[in-house]
């Protein structure tokens, strides 16, 4: 019991360090190392000296990992897409398609966020890039601030789920699920999110048309140019998704080919216009990639060390034993886990949250479902362990998305605030509220109808 207590105190220490504004990865690493030392004092057979020897290769093993090499490549793809003008083309193309609908530019913003989220895989990158592109246009058309900023904060969340997504890749690696099946499972929930957001805009504009004045007329030439420029985006996205879906590529080559296509697109834009890829833009994309990729790799390394500490305490095992012996209603436990993820998502960075929490939740869910090798017919959730991994992963990422727009500290809201310093946080949160409501509805649907996530993995 002493060792498990060390684990509980370790968890508390981690939360305190994070709240004290110690970088999340550093807090995880310090907790892991110091905690392991304390465990060696409580249980002398778990010696600290041999434990330290793992650091001869631990960092290298994290970064030199073929499965994880997809991470910096997807990040580079997103930053290149932002620097080469792809995001602007995407937005103008969508705006041309939705020009006849009242509130069409807000809808175009959601569609462009979905498209950009697909190539960037990051919610914060999607929110910041699309803010730069869409906010000036929404302002020029005199859209209400609540609608403009709310649409951007909510649209940004699409990046985390719409495949290919870095968060999906990392979750799949943590629980040893198939990355391609995770991508397949995320497609329907991603489309549902877009549809629900569009419905939320339609209802808001129908109730108060003054928040979305009609857009200016476009000439036939402007429309055809804008729609034509959507083709490269569709080609890049289609190549990645179809290549993955049809088994032509594994995730790392898919990401590298995505980077290659965007580089080619940027060079073509450079040749035909003043836009496109230049050395300063490539340099900016490479440096931004450095910042984000190193942040993620440091978290992954620290999470591995932290996981080792918790394993030494026996806490995850104790939790799964408790779950196996309990008579708790599985769905009630799952609901509590999702609520905990929403609550944590209010203040914790999403990737580290998944890495810290999933190793605790996952063994409990397996036991509640009926054990590792249970058949779908006998399982509490009516699915095998492999399907449970996928379903829970999608649910977890959906509620993490919710955390990004949950008051008082939804990260995306602060990203939008940095682009619109004169808009109050209250205004942005009011703007986000309808999207928050439809997100709750979507989560409930995915919870009640697991087939929405699992359908494509079963037929493809």
Q: Which of 109, 179, 95 is nearest to 151 (CA)?
A: 109
Counting Cβ atoms within 10 Å, is residue 422 exposed (0-12), middle (13-18) or buried (19+)?
exposed
Find the farthest-apart pair of alpha carbons in the chain and give their distance in angstroms, rounded: 78
Q: Which is nearer to other proteins, 264 or 311 (CB)?
A: 264
Q: Where are the alpha helices (DSSP H) in 314-371?
A: 315-325, 330-345, 350-369
**328-332, long-range: CB < 8 A, 24+ apart:** 328/368, 330/365, 330/368, 330/369, 330/380, 330/381, 331/381
Q: Which is nearer to other proteins, 55 or 331 (CB)?
A: 55
CB of 23 to other proteins, least distance (A): 4
What is the binding site for other proteins (CB under 8 A)?
18-26, 29-30, 55-57, 59-60, 63-66, 68-69, 72-73, 76, 249, 252-253, 256-257, 259-260, 263, 283, 285-287, 289-295, 297-299, 347-349, 351-352, 409, 411, 414
Q: Which is nearer to other proteins, 409 or 447 (CB)?
A: 409
Q: Which is nearer to other proteins, 57 or 326 (CB)?
A: 57
CB of 150 to other proteins, least distance (A): 20
| CA–CA separation, 111 and 121 (whole Å) | 15
Q: Which is nearer to other proteins, 391 or 429 (CB)?
A: 429
CB of 217 to other proteins, least distance (A): 41
Degrees (nearest 5) of the Cα angle 164, 108, 231?
Answer: 60
Degrees (nearest 5) of the Cα angle 380, 186, 440?
Answer: 70
Q: Which is nearer to other proteins, 43 or 62 (CB)?
A: 62
The phi and psi torsions of 88 (rounded to 5 degrees) equal -70, -45
Q: How many residues are recorded in the chain?
A: 460
Cα 190 to chain centroid, rounded? 11
Q: Which is nearer to other proteins, 21 or 207 (CB)?
A: 21
Helix axis angle, 86-97 relative to 70-83, nearest 10°? 70
Cα 433 to chain centroid, rounded? 20
Count Cβ atoms below 10 Å from residue 243 Cβ, excluding itself: 17
| CA–CA separation, 19 and 31 (whole Å) | 14
Q: Which of 100, 139, 102, 97 is nearest to 114 (CA)?
A: 97
Cα 226 to chain centroid, rounded? 29
- CA gyration radius for the chain? 23
CB of 376 to other proteins, least distance (A): 34
**Residues ≥6 apart with Cβ < 8 Å to 393:** 168, 171, 172, 175, 177, 182, 185
CB of 443 to other proteins, least distance (A): 22
**Residues ≥6 apart with Cβ < 8 Å to 33:** 305, 309
Q: Which is nearer to other proteins, 228 or 283 (CB)?
A: 283
Q: Which is nearer to other proteins, 40 or 69 (CB)?
A: 69
CB of 59 to other proteins, least distance (A): 5
Q: Which is nearer to other proteins, 48 or 260 (CB)?
A: 260
Q: Which is nearer to other proteins, 23 or 213 (CB)?
A: 23
């Amino acid at each position: 019991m002493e060792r498990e207590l060390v684990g509980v105190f370790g968890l508390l220490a981690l939360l305190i360090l994070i709240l004290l504004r110690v970088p999340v990865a550093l807090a995880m690493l310090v907790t892991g190392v110091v905690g392991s030392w304390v465990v060696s004092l409580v249980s002398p057979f778990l010696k600290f000296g041999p434990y330290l020897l793992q650091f001869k290769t631990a960092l290298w093993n994290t970064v030199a990992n073929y499965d994880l090499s997809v991470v910096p490549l997807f990040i580079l793809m997103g930053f290149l897409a932002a620097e080469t003008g792809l995001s602007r083309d995407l937005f103008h193309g969508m705006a041309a398609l939705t020009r006849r609908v009242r509130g069409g530019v807000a809808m175009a913003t959601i569609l462009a966020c979905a498209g950009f989220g697909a190539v960037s895989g990051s919610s914060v990158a999607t929110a910041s890039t699309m803010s730069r592109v869409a906010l000036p246009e929404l302002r020029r058309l005199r859209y209400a601030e609540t609608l403009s900023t709310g649409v951007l904060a909510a649209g940004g969340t699409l990046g985390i789920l719409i495949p290919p997504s870095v968060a999906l890749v990392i979750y799949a690696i943590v629980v040893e699920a198939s990355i391609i099946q995770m991508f397949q499972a995320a497609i329907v929930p991603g489309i549902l999110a877009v549809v629900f957001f569009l419905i939320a805009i339609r209802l808001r504009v129908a109730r108060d048309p003054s928040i979305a004045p009609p857009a200016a007329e476009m000439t036939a030439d402007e429309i055809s140019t804008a729609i034509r420029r959507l083709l490269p985006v569709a080609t890049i996205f289609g190549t990645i998704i179809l290549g993955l879906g049809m088994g032509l590529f594994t995730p790392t080559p898919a990401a590298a080919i995505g980077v290659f296509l965007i580089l080619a697109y940027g060079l073509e834009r450079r040749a035909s216009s003043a836009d496109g890829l230049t050395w300063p833009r490539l340099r900016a994309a490479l440096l931004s990639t450095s910042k984000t990729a190193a942040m993620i790799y440091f978290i992954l390394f620290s999470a591995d060390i932290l996981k080792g500490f918790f394993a030494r305490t026996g806490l995850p095992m104790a939790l799964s034993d408790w779950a196996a012996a309990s008579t708790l209603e599985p769905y009630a436990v799952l609901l509590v886990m999702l609520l905990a993820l929403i609550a944590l998502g209010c203040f914790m960075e999403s990737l580290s949250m998944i890495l810290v929490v999933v190793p605790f939740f996952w063994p409990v869910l397996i036991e509640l479902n009926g054990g590792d090798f249970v058949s779908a017919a006998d399982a509490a959730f009516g699915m095998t362990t492999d399907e449970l991994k996928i379903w829970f992963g999608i649910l977890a990422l959906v509620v993490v998305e919710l955390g990004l727009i949950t008051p008082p500290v939804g990260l995306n809201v602060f990203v939008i605030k940095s682009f619109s310093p004169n808009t109050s946080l209250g205004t942005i949160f009011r703007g986000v509220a309808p999207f928050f409501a439809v997100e709750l509805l979507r989560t409930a649907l995915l919870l009640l109808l697991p087939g929405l996530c699992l359908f494509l993995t079963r037929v493809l």
